[in-house]
Amino acid sequence: MKLFRSYTYTWWQLAIIKLALLAVGMILGAYLSTFVLGNMWLFIAVWVVTAAYILWHSYKPGSPTKD
């Protein structure tokens, strides 16, 4: 069994995956709220770095994400 392979999902299957991820995120956020609030700067820094990378990768000349 190959774990890392290409998958094709329909739009409604992706909606179910996103709904499941949202639910898990909310559960973890409620359970770990004091930890997250105590280290908010770390989570903001991770978000800024990853968002900047995704934007840079998406909009740079010759990016495979651009048609």
For 25-44, what is the mean pLDDT?
A: 91
Query: Which residue shows structure tokens 């392979």?
Result: 5
Q: What is the pTM of this model?
A: 0.57
Model confidence at 41, in pLDDT bands (50, 70, 90)? very high
Q: How far is CA 36 from CA 30, 41, 46, 55, 57, in A?
A: 9, 9, 13, 25, 28
